[in-house]
């Protein structure tokens, strides 16, 4: 296929997808061209439309093609609680795993001055407005348990403490189905120290 | 992200790609939306253009956006030799691995009556024309060593024998770097029977 300029350019363009190297990109391009032209055209159209129309929700910054996302619009969701997450993928994981019925706030990152990510970039002025709004009672901080995630959680806790709110964070401990033998020492020490009544 | 109809539809559309399930599709969609909008738009455009413009070469049936592909057009390629392959991916593998400087013929499949693939579907009338053309001296049959690939090779050999041509097939044997212990019995028996002078 070194002969097809257009095919080579498609293969190169496919490498923007995460985890896709030259070999997988070639397999994808040939698969679409040889077997799935119609669905391939549909994918190209969906991709162009999504990249064009999907932006951030004005209230929670989650990805949506509307001004305000469906969770923020929904009357069924509890407006007295906000859960703060780093990314839309984290929000999705919580939606699938938990029965949480409150609302969210998506940072699109974590505090990381080295990468130029400060309070401004994470939309913390918008979050501050929501924390000050009447009716809010609870803030759940669900950043990742990394160094930067922890620093961000600390910063958010300080912000939330200025208001009369219940502030909580995800529990650390032994993952379900994990074996003690293989769990890192930090997690194990934490789980031991924070042991709960049986 | 259950909240975004458009995002969900993009994730669903991405599953047309080979080896991509729901989880990878979600990761791809979020990666494009969060970090690679520009390159994502480029990918969508390239995909639409390639699916629109790439067809089969009139002479060898390889994928190309031109009427005749660059290998068939090239005066540097030896027109006295044709190598018959099942797919563009096989052609590409041979181009990368071997120093072959002749031309190709792409079947886009193998004889498989159960799947409705007969001589017609594999373009064997076109191949017959090329075999009859003056100047051709050699045919290399490079189908895959599967049951259907072998049957196809047998059929192609019969076709080529009608003309005064040198007909050859890829050698079977022990793969380089393989260990005898782990090679299937059929291959090992073949390699032993066809052993060559040291």
Contact B92 A26 (CB under 8 A): yes
Clarify whether residues A102 and A40 are in a common domain.
no
- Share the mean pLDDT of chain B: 92
- Beta-carbon separation of A51 and B40 below 8 A: yes
A42 with A67, same domain? no
Classify B140 as helix, strand or coil: strand
pLDDT surpassing 70 at residue A177: yes
Which residues in B lie closer than 8 A to residue A61 (C-beta atoms)? none
Distance from CA of A66 to the nearest CA of B (A): 8
Say if residue A146 is in the same domain as residue A85: yes
Indicate whether A165 and A82 sit together in one domain. Answer: yes
CB-CB neighbors (< 8 A) of B2 in chain A: 92, 95
Of A4, A16, A46, the CB nearest to B10: A46
Would residue B112 count as lying in a domain? yes
| Cα B118 to Cα A53: distance, rounded to the nearest angstrom | 46
Number of structural domains chain B divides into: 1
Give the closest residue to A12 by CA, choosing from A28, A34, A32: A28
pLDDT at residue A3 tops 50 = no
Whether A122 and A45 map to the same domain: the answer is no
Given a cut of 70, whether residue A114 has pLDDT beyond it is yes
Residue B123 within a domain: yes
Q: Which residues contact B65 (CB under 8 A, 6 or more apart)?
A: A4, A5, A6, A7, B50, B53, B54, B55
The reply to whether residue B3 touches residue A39, judged by beta carbons under 8 angstroms, is no
- Those residues whose C-beta lies under 8 Å from the C-beta of residue B165, and which sit 6 or more positions away, are B131, B136, B137, B138, B139
Chain A residue with CA closest to B14: the answer is A43
**CATH number of the domain where residue A26 is located:** 1.10.8.420
pLDDT in tens, B20-42: 999 999 999 999 999 999 999 99
- Taking an 8 Å cut-off on Cβ atoms, the answer to whether A4 and B48 are in contact is no
Measure in Å the smallest separation between the Cα of A143 and chain B Cα atoms. Answer: 17
Q: Considering only CA atoms, give the Rg of chain B.
A: 22
CATH number of the domain within which B155 lies: 3.40.1360.10
Q: Tell whether the torsion through CA atoms of B101, B103, B106 and B107 is positive or negative.
A: negative
- Determine the longest span between alpha carbons in chain B, in angstroms: 69
Closest in A3, A14, A51 to B62, CB measured:
A3
Q: Work out the pLDDT band at A154, boundaries 50, 70, 90.
A: very high
- Give the domain range for residue A49: 5-53
A26 with A115, same domain? Answer: no
If asked whether residues A164 and A122 sit together in one domain, one would say: yes
One domain, residues A32 and A110: no
Minimal Cβ distance to A33: which of B5, B42, B50: B50
For residue A108, the 8-state DSSP code is S
Taking only the tens place, the pLDDT of each residue in B67-99 is: 999 999 999 999 999 999 999 999 999 998 888
CA separation, residue B185 to residues B174, B180, B182 (Å): 11, 9, 9
Based on the domain organization, do A48 and A91 belong to the same domain?
no
User: In this prediction, what percent of chain A has a pLDDT beyond 70?
Assistant: 98
- The answer to whether B51 contacts A69, with C-beta atoms less than 8 Å apart, is no
Provide mean pLDDT across the span A27-55.
Answer: 96
In a domain, A49, yes or no: yes
Do A118 and A76 have their domain in common? yes
For residues A140 and A79, state if they share a domain.
Answer: yes
Mean pLDDT, rounded, for A134-156: 94
* Rounded Cα gap, residues A93 and A98, in angstroms: 8
Q: Which residues of B touch A26 (CB under 8 A)?
A: 89, 92
Position A192 scores a pLDDT of: 84
pLDDT digits (tens, 9 = 90+) for B97-122: 888 999 999 999 999 999 999 999 99
Proportion of chain B above pLDDT 90, given as a percent: 77
B48 and A45: CB-CB below 8 Å? yes
Across the interface, whether the CB atoms of A91 and B26 are under 8 A apart is answered no
- Work out the average pLDDT over A1-21: 86
Residue B152 lies in a domain: yes
Residues A13 and A74 in one domain: no
Closest listed residue to residue B32, CA positions, set A10, A121, A44, A152: A44
> Is ipTM strictly over 0.90?
no
Yes or no, beta carbons of B42 and A13 under 8 Å apart = yes
């Amino acid at each position: 296929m070194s002969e097809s300029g257009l095919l080579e350019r498609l293969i190169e363009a496919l490498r923007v997808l995460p985890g896709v190297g030259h070999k997988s990109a070639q397999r994808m391009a040939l698969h679409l061209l040889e077997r799935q032209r119609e669905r391939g055209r549909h994918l190209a159209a969906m991709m162009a439309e999504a990249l064009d129309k999907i932006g951030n929700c004005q209230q929670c910054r989650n990805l949506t093609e509307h001004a305000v996302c469906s969770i923020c619009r929904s009357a069924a969701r509890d407006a007295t609680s906000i859960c703060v997450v780093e990314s839309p993928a984290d929000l999705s994981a919580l939606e699938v795993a938990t029965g949480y019925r409150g609302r969210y706030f998506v940072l699109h990152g974590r505090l990381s001055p080295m990468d130029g990510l400060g309070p401004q970039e994470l939309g913390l002025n918008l979050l501050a407005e929501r924390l000050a709004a009447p009716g809010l009672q609870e803030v759940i901080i669900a950043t990742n348990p990394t160094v930067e995630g922890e620093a961000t959680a600390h910063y958010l806790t300080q912000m939330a403490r200025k208001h009369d709110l219940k502030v909580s964070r995800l529990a650390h401990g032994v993952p379900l189905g994990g074996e003690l033998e293989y769990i890192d020492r930090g997690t194990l020490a934490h789980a031991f120290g924070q042991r709960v009544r049986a």
